Amino acid sequence: MDFRLSEEHDMLRKMIRDFAKKEVEPTARERDEEERFDRKIYDQMAELGLTGIPWPEKYEGIGSDYLSYIIAVEELSSVCASTGVTLSAHLSLASWPIYMYGTEKQKKNFLTRLAGGEALGAFALSEAGAGSDVASMEMSAKKDGDAYILNGNKVWITNGGVADIYIVFAKTDPAAKHNGITAFIVEEGMEGFSIGKKEKKLGIRSSPTAEVMFENCRIPEENRLGDEGDGFKIAMTTLDGGRSGIAAQAVGIAQGALDAAINYAKEREQFGKPIAHNQGISFKLADMATEIEAARLLTYKAAWLESNGYEYGKASSMAKLFAGDMAMRTTVEAVQVFGGYGYTKDYPVERYMRDAKITQIYEGTNEIQRLVIGRMVTE
């Protein structure tokens, strides 16, 4: 087995790291405090080709692989988790289902705009009463001639309110439960589509999370993604890959926190020496570094499996589960290394800690991941 990254992956990592340090990190604290999404950063990512990393060049992508996408999310998240999840949701939740299930016309119309960065994507699945229990969603889609009429609300939408293209799930046959769910491609500005409440969050505050609402929103039949009743399958397979993206976000957050903790521990002196020389601190740093590397390997494995056409669902769930829990432990310990200073906004570790928590929740809570993995290993 060869655990070394290819020269292409190494070059990509360096490019994204340089971009993240130069263009993303300087405003990360300010954007977090102001809860401000900066479209200019997304546009800059588009110029670098990041918005279409894994998609073929004929769809305005750069023809790379899922591991490259994971590396991008990790590096961005190491300085700003909000920017990392903006790209993750755009690529794995909005673009991926169109690439996998869309018609050629849909790919030419929607995927090319997403991949090229002309449009930003979002994924609308959750409802107020239907989070982990997707089949209980109430949003409806009724056929009306050559169109569907959508009614209902979706919540917790990453990129909500700033996205241009949404993958939306609704019931076309309520009696069929999960087999009655259908997916649609909805564009911002369609009549009957509007943005509701913007959430005020603990972390990832410069990534907008909003409610999206549909009131007699007429969607052309050609915007249906897959066949009627395919929605549950589309949603679940999309989330499989999305979990790898969240795992990468968690790894990036933890790495950023560790780097900050190491630098501080080398500089901060107590009892006549840097605190990094104290066993209590050095052991913390050692555990943090070890867990980060373990999570990174799990995440890269899931991405490698997907890139090479192997089954990756279990691997992505394991990566998301372990990396999310790891990121929370690591960021809490990073704050501890800083002591009282870590509890202030003068240093970034408090933001890393706030950002880490969501990685245990979205794209399927870690409790759901344990349920999924448990079923897989006992079948």
Active site residues: 363
Q: Are 160 and 153 in contact (CB under 8 A)?
A: no
The token pair at 100 is 């996998």
Type of residue numbered 130: A
Contacts of 359 by beta carbon, 8 Å cutoff, 6+ apart: 246, 247, 249, 250, 253, 320, 323, 324, 327, 328
Three-point CA angle 26, 31, 34, nearest 5°: 145
| Largest separation between any pair of C-alpha atoms in the chain | 79
Calpha distance 160→110 (Å, rounded): 17
Dihedral, CA atoms, 83, 84, 86, 87, nearest 10 degrees? 120
Structure tokens at 268: 């901060």
The amino acid at 158:
T
Contact 205/351 with Cβ under 8 angstroms? no
Radius of gyration of the chain, Cα coordinates, nearest whole angstrom: 21
> Which two three-digit tokens encode residue 19?
């971009």
Q: Do residues 355 and 279 make contact, with C-beta atoms less than 8 angstroms apart?
A: no
Rounded alpha-carbon distances, angstroms, from residue 266 to 57, 78, 288: 46, 20, 16
Please return the burial class of 116, using the count of CB atoms within 10 Å of its CB with bins 0-12, 13-18 and 19+. middle
Rounded Cα–Cα distance for residues 122 and 50 (Å)? 16
Type of residue found at 201: K
User: One-letter amino acid identity for 311?
Assistant: E
Q: How far apart are CA 131 and CA 135, in angstroms?
A: 9
Q: Rounded to whole angstroms, what are the CA distances from 194 to 36, 162, 191, 214?
A: 20, 11, 8, 7
Q: For residues 254 and 348, give the distance between their C-alpha atoms in angstroms, rounded to a whole number.
A: 12
